[in-house]
Amino acid sequence: MDEQFPHKEAEAYIALGSNMGNREQLLLSAISLLDTHPDVRVSSVSGMYETDPVGYTEQPPFLNMVLAVQTTLSPLMLLRQLLQFEQQLGRVRQIRWGPRTIDLDLLLYDNVRMDQEELTLPHPRMMERAFVLVPLHDVLDYSHQLQQEVSAASRVALLDGKEGITLWKTINWRSASEPFES
C-alpha cells in the first residue's frame, strides 16, 4: 500500500481550461502545482482537448482537460487553493467569460452536495458543457453515481459533432513525473 494520506481522503474532479499564452505549458504547470501540494495527489489525467469557445465566442480556442485528485482538503479549502493557483499562473479577471491563462473549476467532491455562495457542488453547469463532460468521461470513477449520466451526456456531445472538441494530445502524467523506476 502506498498511503500518502492516513485518513479522510476524498476524491475530487477538477476542470482545467486555458486559451492565453502557452496553453499546454499552463495546463502542465497547474497539474504540477496541484500534485506538489502536500494535501493533494493527482490520480488521473484526461486527454488534452482543443475546444471552440462557448459563452463569449470572440476569443481563441481553449485547451481543456479534467483531473481526478485525492485530497484531505475540505471542498472549500480545495476551492480556495485552486483560486490561489490561478493567481499564481497569471490569471487576471477582465471580460466575463473572456480569455484566461488558466481556469481551475471544482466539479465534484466525493458525493458532496452543497449550495453556498462561495461554492456549489456538483458544479451547477457541468452537465451542459461538452468541454467538461468529454474529458471528465476519460477519468470519472466508474463507481461514482454520476458516471452513467456523464457518459450518456458526453456521448451525445461527441456524436453531435457540432461541439468543436478534438483530442489535442494525451499525456502520461505518472510516467512524465516519475520517469525512473528505482
**Residues at the site binding ligand X6L, with contacts judged by CB under 6 A:** 17, 51-55, 62, 64, 97, 103, 129, 131
Q: How far is the CB of 50 from ligand X6L (least distance, A)?
A: 9
Torsion angle defined by CA atoms of residues 30, 31, 35 and 39, in that order, rounded to the nearest 10 degrees:
60
Distance between CA atoms of residues 53 and 137, nearest Å: 20
Q: Is 80 a catalytic residue?
A: no
Q: Is 49 exposed, middle or buried (0-12, 13-18, 19+ CB in 10 A)?
A: buried
Residue holding cell 488521473? 44
119 binds, among Mg ion, ligand X6L, none (CB under 5 to 8 A by kind): none
53 binds, among ligand X6L, Mg ion, none (CB under 5 to 8 A by kind): ligand X6L
Angle at 156 between CA 155 and CA 161, to 5 degrees: 100
Q: Calculate the alpha carbon distances from 99 to 23, 38, 126 in Å.
A: 11, 30, 19
Grid coordinates representing 18? 486555458
Q: Does 86 bind Mg ion (CB under 5 A)?
A: no
The residue among 11 and 103 lying less far from ligand X6L, judged by its C-beta, is: 103
Grid coordinates representing 31? 497539474
Grid coordinates representing 29? 504547470
Q: Is 2 a catalytic residue?
A: no
Q: Is 115 a catalytic residue?
A: no
Grid coordinates representing 47? 486527454
Angle at 103 between CA 177 and CA 11, to 5 degrees: 60
Q: Is 91 a catalytic residue?
A: yes
Give the containing element (helix H, strand E) for 50: strand 48-51
Q: How far is the CB of 8 from ligand X6L (least distance, A)?
A: 30
Catalytic residue among 100, 113, 115, 155: 100
Q: How far is the CB of 17 from Mg ion (least distance, A)?
A: 6
105 binds, among ligand X6L, Mg ion, none (CB under 5 to 8 A by kind): Mg ion
Q: Does 103 bind Mg ion (CB under 5 A)?
A: yes
Q: Does 105 bind Mg ion (CB under 5 A)?
A: yes
51 binds, among Mg ion, ligand X6L, none (CB under 5 to 8 A by kind): ligand X6L
Residues with a known catalytic role:
91, 100, 103, 105
Residues that bind Mg ion (CB under 5 A): 103, 105
